[in-house]
Amino acid sequence: MIDVKEALQYADLKAVDFFCGAGGVTCGFKQIGIKVLGGIDIDPQFKQTYETNNNVKFVNKDVSNLEPVKLKELLPIERNEDNLIFVGCSPCQYYSNLKSDKTKSKSSRLLLDDFKEFVLYYRPGFVFIENVPGLETKSGSPLHKFKTALIKEGYKFDQKVLNAKYFGVPQNRNRFILLASRISNKKIQLPEENTSEHNLETVFNAIGNYEKFYKISAGTKDETNFQHTAAKLSELNLKRVQRTPKNGGDRRAWEDDDELQLECYKHHNGHYDVYGRLSWEKPSPTITTKFLHTSTGRYSHPEQDRALSIREGATLQSFPLDYVFYSSNQGKIATMIGNAVPPKLSEAIGTSIKQHWKEWLEISKET
C-alpha cells in the first residue's frame, strides 16, 4: 500500500478504463486532469477512435480470458495503489429495461464478474461502474455478489440511479452508478443532481446553432472530421417525417393516413416517440445505438426532414466537437456513440473521486 509520504509526493489520480469502447469515460476523466493509463476492450474497431482522440494506450483484450496478474505487464500498475481507479462500464444490453431480444447480449451479462476478479487482485483505491438501471433490479444480476466482494475487501460505496441531464448532458439518460473507495473510513459520495430546470442543457443549446450544425438533408455524407452525416430515408419515411409537426411532433399527426400509418400501430396506442421529432426546449431522449434512424425512436431533427446526424448524436452525448469516430460503417459509429458513457457524466463522477482523494490527503497531512 502507498504510504502517506509517497502519496503526497504524487497526488495525481490515475485510471484504467475497462470495456472502454470509444472512450467516453476516458475523455471525461482527462478533461478534469485524471490520468488514464489505458483502455481495455475486446473489440478492435475502437482502437483508432480511442487512441487518436485520447492519446491513451488501447489494450485489445477479452477480460474474460485475461489473467489479472497479466494486466501489469500491459499497463504500469501495481497492487494496492491508493491513487488508482478501476472503471468497469461493461456492456449492459442484457439488463436493459427495453423490450428487445437479449440473445446477442446474453454472453456479456457476467462481465461484471470478470471485472470483479481484477478489482480483488489489484485492490485499487477506487472503483467506478456505470450500467443500465436494470443491473440493480433484474433477476440474476451479478451486482449483489460484486458488492459483497467489495465490502469484504474494505470498500465503502455509494450507489444510485443518476440522470445525465442533471450533469450538463443535453439528454435524458438514467444510469445506475456505483462508486467505491477503500482509502478512508469516510464513505465516498456520488455527485448531487442539480435538478433545477433552469440548468438543463437543451437540444437547442447543443445542436441549434446552424452556423456549426449547418442544414443538411437525409442521405448527406460529410467526409470531413466533423462527420455531419445523416442516414438516407426511404420515400415513404421521408413523407412521414415531412408530415410530423416540427419541434416535438409525433406520428399521431398522420395516424389516419392509410399510406403513412404502420400496420402495427393501427390498433395500438402509445410508443409515440417512434418517428417523433426532438423538441428544441428539452433535453433529447436517450441516445441509443439506433439514433441514426427515424423509425427507432424520437430521433427526427426538430426542424429538418431527417434523423440526427452522427455529429449531432455525439454532441447530445456530450462528446467534444473535435472528437472523431473512425469507421467506414455509419451503424458502427452510431453504436460507438450510443453505448458510450457521456463524457460530462464521467467528469462529474471523476470530480467526486478527486474530492474524496483530496480530503483523504488533507487528513493524512494532519496525522
Q: Which of 2, 56, 5, 31 is nearest to 342 (CA)?
A: 31
Which residues are within 8 A (CB) of 324 and not within 5 positions of it... i.e. 6 or more apart? Answer: 49, 52, 53, 225, 227
Q: Would residue 243 count as lying in a domain?
A: no
Predicted pLDDT at 227 = 98
Q: Is residue 34 part of a domain?
A: yes
C-alpha separations of 260 from 10, 254, 274 in Å: 63, 7, 13
pLDDT at 3: 56
Domain annotation covers residue 324: no
- Residue matched to cell numbers 426546449: 281
Residue 231, in any domain of the structure: no
For residue 106, what pLDDT is reported?
46
Which of 140, 113, 106 minimizes the C-alpha distance to 129? 113
pLDDT along the chain (367 residues), means of 10: 50 94 98 97 97 98 96 97 96 52 50 96 98 77 91 97 97 97 95 91 98 98 98 97 97 92 76 93 97 97 98 98 97 97 98 96 81
Q: What CATH number does the domain containing 147 carry?
A: 3.40.50.150
What domain range is 122 assigned to? 4-193+341-366
Tally of structural domains, the chain: 1
pTM of the model: 0.92
251: which residues sit within 8 A by CB, 6+ positions away?
A: 240, 244, 261, 265, 272, 274, 275, 276
pLDDT value of residue 331? 97
Residue 132 domain-assigned (yes or no) = yes
**CA pair distance 33, 26, nearest whole angstrom:** 10
Catalytic residues: 92
Q: Is 220 inside any structural domain? A: no
Within-domain flag for 316: no
Predicted pLDDT of residue 272:
84
Is residue 143, in this structure, part of any structural domain at all? Answer: yes
Q: Residue 66's CB: how many other CB atoms inside 10 A?
A: 17
